[in-house]
Structure 1
Amino acid sequence: MEAWTEFSIQENPGETAGPSNVEQASSDSPATSDEESEWSSPETTVKERGPILPRIPTDQDGAHDPTIATDEVQDDTPVRNLRPLSELYEIELMLSDSEPTNYSEAKSSKEWQEAMKAEIASIEKNQTWTLTDLPEGCKAVGLKWVFKTKKSAEGKVLKHKARLVAKGYVQQYGVDYEEVFAPVARMETVRLLLAIAAQQGWFVHHLDVKTAFLHGELKEQVFVSQPEGFERKGAEGKVYKLSKALYGLKQAPRAWNMKLDSVLKVLGFVKCKQEPAVYKRGHKKKIIIMGVYVDDLFLTGESEEEIKKVKGQLEESFEMSDLGLLNYYLGIEVKQDESGITICQKGYAQKILKETSMKDCNPTSFPMEPGLKLSKEDDSPNVDPTQFRKWIGCLQYLTHTRPDLSYSVGYVSRFMQSPKETHKQALKQILRYVKGSTNLGLWYERKGNKTLYGYSDSSYSIDKDDGRSTSGLVFYYDGAPVAWNSQKQGTVALSSCEAEFMAATSAACQAIWLQRLLAEILGEKEEKVTIKVDNQSALALMRNPVFHGRSKHIDTRYHFIRECVEDGRIDVKHVSGTEQKADILTKALPRLKHEEMKKKLGLKEITSLRG
């Protein structure tokens, strides 16, 4: 390096460099430094370099000049407003599976065209309408195409479904429709039927009625416009007169329910008095039980031959899809085997996390901080109420198999009118808990006992705004929970005894209904139901018929439990606080206590419901 420096000085006589300059250059650029030896390679080292060219006036020092370049730290953070390639692939995949919003978006797709043709074919096969001129003074109801991709619990596309829907919001009461109510099975009823099937050793079968609403017969005179994309050539100005119902009409659910009810009665089924959406036929070993939720039917019974017979009879009246053993019902994953029946909402829980952008959040082991008390009069900033209510609605449906979420979800739902940032943080805590417990579900064991019993509990004056207490109840059949509830009481209690008394009355109403429904389904005698309470004063108040000062101010309807105890329909017993299984439904518990009560409640880790 020193020789090279001397040579360059000689070649540039206009420049002077003293010994100090030479020594400084030698010291600043050693021939072989430790730093250079770490990154240099034989390919990047060039020996016997030529002379340095002289600088000219146009030369400029800049960021590209290695002699003045500053030390930089490598930063892998993406540039703002740019997205990772993996996220773009995911968005493109979602868009490819997205559902069209109107006919113009769907007409270019072969799958959706086939789905629309199948819908029109079903309508014409059922003789739903007749092409005619619109009478004077009448208005035609518009039609709209609605597209839905039906998927399994794992997210696999099962079919493309196009539905022709009437714009029923333009109908007028008393002109186009009258009665619209149609019963569907309660979720408590669905769980109870599954528990009965497991206890009896039966298997549950699933049926689906194709285009169910098209079977409902109309009493009113209704005209609809021709569907977009399927107008009759040469008759574009005409309309359809409906003889049967279409989806979207106000009276369509009731018309379908009445049609199904008449067909089932002809087949020998009898509607349950306690639950209008449950039917049964036969007795003892030939008994068949059917649950109805709009167009989803499930059958269970001891005789597989009788079930096949019923399927054949239904197919003669309706176009049915026999889905085999029940494995997915109303968003609930069901698995049936020789050990029992398990239910879970793992797929639905993961869908909630994805929609709320909490899929990659840190999980937690409890849904709500112990002792947390939120208020409507909060000073924190407002949040989007539509998004908040949507998240609450999704979580409320998740509680159909997750009683451990009932209290926390019910508590934050009290602030849907004007949600604040603190309320949203509490909601995110619940979602983090869902992330860490998606595999939780219920297991109904086969060949157990037929005992029905329950627990009742309350938390005194837990609401910060109005001082009302929270009631919690849970009922077990064959050792597994079938019905539960967590709800704020309607009136203010003056003591914990009074709060427990009112909670027990609500539990008694639920117990009597379950008791009668169970006896009617199985054709057995009504048995006394035991309700366990952990407050001795409340128990004394229930058993004591004397109307004294401690209870005279309580609303009359809450004294119903006294009559139930006297008549022998309800038996109340004391249980210690550590064994009170409804405790998790009345307040937020610490982590260890929550884990303990979650197991006592009956929740189990269900690793896989598929395959």
Structure 2
Amino acid sequence: MIGDIHQRVTRSSVASLAFFFHSAYVASFEPQDVSHALSDPNWVNDMHEELENFERNHVWDLVEPPPNYRPIGTKWVFKNKQGKDGTVVRNKARLKEEIDCEENFAPVARWEAIRISLAFAASKGFKLQQMDVKSAFLNGFIEEEVYVRQPPGYESAKFLDQVYKLRKALYGLKQAPRAWYARLKSFLLKSGFVMGSVDKTLFLLSRGGDTLIFQIYVDDIIFGGSSHALVSSFAEQMIREFKMSLMGELQFFLGLQIKQDPEGTFVHQAKYTRDILKKFDMGDSKPMTTPMSTNTVLDADEDGEAVDQKEFRGMIGSLLYLTATRPDIQFAVYLCARYQASPRTSHRQAVKRIFSYLKFTPELGLWYSTVSFLSLRGFSDADHAGCRIDRKSTSGTCQLLGTSLVSWSSRKQASISLSTIEAEYIAAASCCSQL
């Protein structure tokens, strides 16, 4: 017993020392401007690291300003990156354009594609890993002629009038995501990968009977394979080609918490659930066992008391993101989302009921078993004239890869069905289209 106590105390001491050691090199605040950042050595170090990345990647050249070009302004953006427990794990100082462009196109994976990758990896027994790309957009080449001003706080004293001519993409530049994706895709295809015919963010490599899957979401990367040697070899290739760091086993991806066990993979959003309960002051609400009562019928309720539209939309938006792993609240959330234009007290009460249900079930999520097979199955259902406003029906569908649920929807149909069977056919057609 004394030995167990000593062991627990030792582990606690080590954890405390690790926390204090880490906090000594990470700032806990986000600066409002450059002068605020320059007052903290941790942020200064991160800004230096950002500019060193520019030099190492040959992002720009300092030149005389051309007569027919107006240089673009630059600004620093400071963000703290948090871990799954909410602690600050990294300071990120990014130099980007002063003007944010609206057209930042890059292929991104759909939620279904990510869930299929997780289910496939679980069924094959792959242990998924994660990579962190440092300054990913700085790896993309641009063809246009672009000039930017020198970064605030780091102007050259000898060449104040000169500007930087970009050789590679810069954060905020509309070409940046597209250029990064093109560079990464070119490297993967040359390395023997095959790009997915439908999902352009999924790449597969087959070598000597072994398989490696590679999924990207802009600059977030997950990968895994049937052979440890193949995975290690590929990781070394990526580190040589790009400035990357291996983050180890996949645990936190796009806000999803992922736990990989020998029996399967569990995907959930428990931390996010607790965060939104706290954000909307629902932490002390009475827990409910269902997200919505079976006899609840919502309509426009034009005679009801109006509520804060901004808060209501914020609650709906937070719940919509949670549906990435919670199909059990899909119907209730999308039903409440129909009344965002003019929310009433009855609508807010329905949303609060969903939050009360989340208080009762914060740990629910998706389970992908290692014994699951890989055949696709789909199920559909529909009500008839369920909407009291326009008498349209609602389709409900779900798709499974073996026993793993990878896609689902609850959506009001575009046209009015004249019979129950018509509503069912429309739902079945939608389900088959998704399959």
Secondary structure at 1:383 match in 2: coil
Distance in 2, Cα, partners of 1:105 & 1:202: 45
- 3-state DSSP of counterpart to 2:203: strand
1:489 aligns with 2:409: no
Deviation at 1:180, TM superposition (A): 4.8
The answer on whether the counterparts of 2:82 and 2:89 sit within 8 Å (CA) in structure 1 is yes
8 A Cα contact 1:167 1:249, kept in partner: no
Q: Is the counterpart of residue 164 in structure 1 residue 95 in structure 2?
A: yes
**Partners of 1:196 and 1:409 in 2: CA distance:** 28
> Contact 2:372–2:404 at 8 Å: present in 1 too?
no
TM (norm. structure 2) is 0.90
Aligned equivalents of 2:354 and 2:198: distance in 1?
Answer: 35
Name the count of aligned residue pairs.
409
Which structure 2 residues correspond to residues 211-222 of structure 1 after superposition, within 5 A?
Answer: 211-222=135-146
Inter-CA distance 378–238: structure 2 relative to 1 (3 Å threshold): farther
How far residue 114 of structure 1 moved from its aligned partner, in angstroms, is 1.4
Identify the residue that residue 464 of structure 1 maps to in structure 2: 388
Aligned-residue CA RMSD (Å): 1.8
Gaps of 5+ in 1: 1-95, 172-178, 512-611
Q: Are 2:267 and 1:336 aligned?
A: no
User: Aligned residue for 1:564?
Assistant: none
Q: Does 1:360 align with 2:291?
A: no
Which residue identity does 2:34 align to in structure 1? Y
Q: What one-letter code is carried by the residue in structure 2 that aligns with 1:337? A: D
Give the CA deviation at 1:211: 0.6
Percent pairwise identity: 39
Which residue does the alignment assign to 2:66?
A: 135
| CA shift in 2, pair 1:498/1:249, >3 Å | same
Rg larger for: 1
Matched, 1:245 2:169: yes
Match of 1:389 among 289, 309, 313: 313
Q: Is the 8 A contact 2:97 2:171 kept in 1?
A: yes
Work out the CA distance in 1 between the residues paired with 2:300 and 2:39.
50
Aligned pairs for 1:484-563 within 5 A: 484-511=408-435
C-alpha separation between the residues in 1 aligned to 2:309 and 2:29?
26
Superposed displacement of residue 460, structure 1: 1.4
Give 1:170 shift: 6.3
The reply to whether residue 431 of structure 1 matches residue 355 of structure 2 is yes
Residues 129-278 of structure 1 aligned to structure 2 (within 5 Å): 129-169=60-100, 180-278=104-202
For 1:145 and 1:181, the matched residues in 2 are separated by: 22
The one-letter amino acid of 2:239's match is E
The reply to whether residue 443 of structure 1 matches residue 352 of structure 2 is no
SS of match in other structure, 1:287? strand
Amino acid at match of 2:52: A
Aligned position for 2:3: none
Amino acid of the residue matched to residue 378 of structure 2? G
The unaligned stretches of length 5 or more in structure 2 are: 1-26
Offset of residue 458 of structure 1: 0.9
Equivalent position amino acid for 2:161 in 1: G
3-state SS in 2 of match to 1:279: strand
Q: Please give the per-residue CA displacement for 1:376-434, whole angstroms capped at 9, x wherever unaligned.
A: 35233333333322222221111111101111111111122233333222222211211
CA distance in 2, matches of 1:141, 1:354: 41
- Distance (whole Å) between structure 2 residues aligned to residue 416 and residue 483 of structure 1: 25
> Contact conserved, 1:201 with 1:447, CA < 8 A, in 2?
no
Does the 8 Å CA contact 1:168/1:250 hold for their aligned counterparts?
no
Q: Tell me which residue corresponds to 2:250.
A: 326
Please say if residues 205 and 299 of structure 1, whose CA atoms lie closer than 8 Å, have aligned partners that are also in contact. yes
Structure 1 counterpart of 2:223, from 299, 323, 328? 299
Contact 1:107 1:113 in 2 (8 A): yes
With 316-325 and 283-292 compared, the bigger mean Cα shift is at 283-292
**Alpha-carbon contact 1:356-1:391 (below 8 Å) kept:** yes
Whichever residue aligns with residue 430 of structure 2, its letter is S
Q: What secondary structure sits across from 1:169 in the alignment?
A: coil
1:138 counterpart SS class: coil
Equivalent position amino acid for 2:369 in 1: E
CA distance in structure 2 between the partners assigned to 1:235 and 1:418 by the alignment: 57
Return the TM-score normalized by structure 1.
Answer: 0.64
| Worse-matched range after superposition: 451-460 or 103-112 | 103-112
In the aligned structure 1, how far is the partner of 2:278 from the partner of 2:60?
A: 42
SS of residue matched to 2:185:
helix
8 Å contact from structure 1 (residues 199, 478) kept in 2: no
Q: Deviations over 1:256-311 (max 9, x none)?
A: 11111111111111111011110011157311111111111111221110011111
| Distance (whole Å) between structure 1 residues aligned to residue 338 and residue 72 of structure 2 | 38
